[in-house]
Amino acid sequence: MKYYQQAFIREMKNRNYSRNTIRIYSMHLRDFLRFGSETSFEPEVRISVFLEEKKSTAEQKRLAWSAIKLFYRLILLKKCPYELDKIRSRKRLPDILSNEEVLELLKCISNTKHRLMISMLYGSGLRVSEVCGLKIKDLDFVNLKLKVRNSKGNKDRVTLLSEKCISDLMHVIRDRNADDFIFVTQVQKKYSIRTVQKIFSNALLSSKLHKSSSCHTLRHCFATHLVESGTNIKTVKELLGHQSIKTTMVYIKLADSVSRKIKSPL
């Protein structure tokens, strides 16, 4: 089992899969191999039962299926014996915080560097992994732009940089090199995703906002508030780095109807 796990990780690295994809796929493969060692099903049935018993969201189940299929192709060098055309998911709209609620949450973070990281999740529409991976050379203070490198799908993109973040950013990066990570701990290591998530959850508790929110909620807020302010949906798609416009269209549904000048007929 260990051999398969190591070989799978090695082959994904050789094909330049993103660090996050390698982590997620290897986790799902580990679970699948462990499940297989405890059962005597035929391969096709084994995959079907594993996915059926996996207590997870439709997205997690889809990722597990993708990992197994890739494992068959890269390591076992044959076609996966189980076909799964589509995994139906419940259409849930993410919770959105208003601009005032986001600002209220930020006020609950006393540490300047911590507050700046959370601010950039919202102000630039970043994923947590992206804010952790930002380097000083990615900042463009003149044009208020931010380059996001090796994002989801191993793609680079350019997004917005809030003018309100510049002063704190200048303080954080003072006398440091362009290739340094913007956000580093006291021992000069870049912040982990889990640490940033903990900063957010602590701020949420202190804010007394009774909403189910996470770091990723701020990315949804970034997109929704841009749509509410009249930003073209194609522009929002590019800023978020979505591959398909269909993914971005959800923010039209989330946008406040009043801001989009839709009035009640009464």
Residues 71-80 have pLDDT tens digits of: 999 999 999 8
pLDDT per residue as tens digits for the range 55-66: 667 778 888 999
| Superfamily name and number for 99-254 | Intergrase catalytic core (1.10.443.10)
Query: Of 30, 69, 190, 242, which residue is the catalytic one?
Result: 242
Task: Choose, from 25, 82, 191, 251, the residue flagged as catalytic.
Answer: 251
Q: Which is the catalytic residue, given 30, 113, 147, 216?
A: 216
15 catalytic, yes or no?
no
What CA–CA distance (Å, rounded) separates 173 from 117?
13
Among residues 30, 135, 152, 190, the one annotated as catalytic is: 152
pLDDT tens track for 167-224: 999 999 999 999 999 999 999 999 999 999 999 999 999 998 888 899 999 999 999 9
To the query of whether residue 135 is one of the catalytic residues in this protein, the response is no
Domain ranges of the chain: 2-74, 99-254
pLDDT at 12: 93
Sheet bearing 139-140, strands edge to edge: 139-140, 145-148, 157-160
Q: How many CB atoms lie under 10 A from the CB of residue 126?
A: 26
171 catalytic? Reply is no
> Which is higher by pLDDT, 86 or 160?
160
- Residue 93, pLDDT score: 72
What is the band of 252 on the pLDDT scale with cuts at 50, 70, 90?
A: confident
CATH code, 2-74 = 1.10.150
- Cα separation, 135 vs 181, in Å, equals 4
Q: Give the count of alpha carbons within 13 A of 113, CB side only.
A: 15
Of 28, 219, 220, 237, which one is the catalytic site residue? 219
CA distance 157 to 128: 15
Known active-site residue 261 = no
State the catalytic residue, choosing from 46, 115, 127, 220. 127
Is 220 an annotated catalytic residue? no
**Residue 216 a catalytic site member:** yes
Q: Which of 159, 73, 69, 72 is nearest to 121 (CA)?
A: 159
What average pLDDT score do residues 260-266 get? 62
